[in-house]
Amino acid sequence: MSELNNCILPDDLYFSVENNVWVRDLGDGTVELGMTDIAQTMAGNIIHCRPKKEGASVKKGKSVATVESGKWVGPVKSPFAGEVTARNDAVESDAALINRSPYKEGWIVRLRPEDVQAELGSLLKGEAAVEHFQAYMSENEVTGCIHCEGFEG
Amino acid sequence: MTATLRIFTHPSCPRCPEAVRRAWELKQRRPELFELRTVTLSDKAGLDEAYAENIKTIPTLICNDGDAEVFRIVGTPDMAHLEASFDQSPRAEDGQS
């Protein structure tokens, strides 16, 4: 697991720095997607999350969920096109799960892209992700990540 | 010298208000124990101070006697734990609390 100014970036995940999301290859042609530790810190205390419904089609760069925090309302964007195969109802009923467990319990949707391996090839992993997020954090004046008590990663 | 208890918090942290409340209650009951200061990580000065202290989780409570750190509690302590941290600290053993 990599850590950047207290921001956790798991080495087994793929990242879209532009959209500040992580992607997990589920091995069956689908992927799981959620907000990064950096994204949940920037959002602040998340109070609402509404993922798209199962069966919905998503275009590249478009929203898979709407998130509202105390200081921000905005979309969680997918780095590729696909069909929503599952939505995490838990984050709709307890949006703070995204703050507490952004990479585990706080996943937002599962998607089926047309070509998983090709899409994952366009994302970053490991050291490359860390380097790009370092630049991203500098550009956005994000000093580091804040983890509240109970944070599970 | 009176000890200083700093509580590192953030507005988005759901348990931070409870940690502050407990420290305040203890100070009301035993005002001689410490001076209380909250440090919010919502501004740069607070973030810089938190990084200088290697804070990774909030709330974190740090008790200092001058420049020396006496104890540190990560998370929200119950009142007994908080009070015992003062009573069992080296300062208490020296008769300074």
Long-range contacts of the stretch B20-26 (C-beta < 8 A, 24+): B20/B59, B22/B76, B22/B77, B22/B78, B22/B79, B22/B82, B23/B61, B23/B82, B25/B79, B26/B79, B26/B82, B26/B83, B26/B86
Number of H helices and number of E strands within chain A?
A: 5, 12
pLDDT in tens, B45-96: 998 899 899 898 999 999 999 989 999 999 999 999 999 999 988 765 555 5
Contact A144 B51 (CB under 8 A): yes
Closest residue in A to B12 (Cα–Cα) = A45
Amino acid identity of residue A114, one-letter, is E
A105/A95 Cα distance (integer angstroms): 11
CB atoms near residue A141 (< 10 Å): 8
* Closest among A90, A83, A89 to A111, alpha carbons compared: A83
B17/B26 Cα distance (integer angstroms): 14
Closest residue in B to A150 (Cα–Cα) = B75
Contact B13 A149 (CB under 8 A): yes
Q: Say which of B10, B44, B48 has its CB closest to residue A146.
A: B10
* Closest among A151, A138, A100, A129 to A3, alpha carbons compared: A129
Higher pLDDT, A152 or B84: B84
Q: Which of A143, A148, A151 to mutate to test the interface with B (most CBs of B within 10 A)?
A: A148
* In chain A, % of residues over pLDDT 70: 100
Average pLDDT, stretch A88-105? Answer: 95
Burial A131-140 (b: 16+ CB within 10 A, else e): eebeebbeee
A68 touches chain B (CB under 8 A): no
Average pLDDT, stretch A5-28? Answer: 96
Work out the mean pLDDT of chain A and round it to a whole number: 94
Contact A6 B56 (CB under 8 A): yes
pLDDT in tens, B9-55: 988 788 899 999 999 999 999 999 999 999 998 888 998 899 899 89
Are A31 and A2 a contacting pair, CB within 8 Å? no
CB atoms near residue B45 (< 10 Å): 10
Average pLDDT, stretch A2-11? Answer: 92
Contact A149 B12 (CB under 8 A): no
Q: What is the ipTM of this complex?
A: 0.75
pLDDT at B42: 81
Q: Is the dihedral of CA B7, B11, A98, A6 positive or negative?
A: negative
CA A23 to chain centre: 7
Q: Say which of B15, B47, B48 has its CB closest to residue A148.
A: B15
Contact B51 A151 (CB under 8 A): no
Checking if the pLDDT of A118 tops 70, the result is yes
A120/A15 Cα distance (integer angstroms): 9
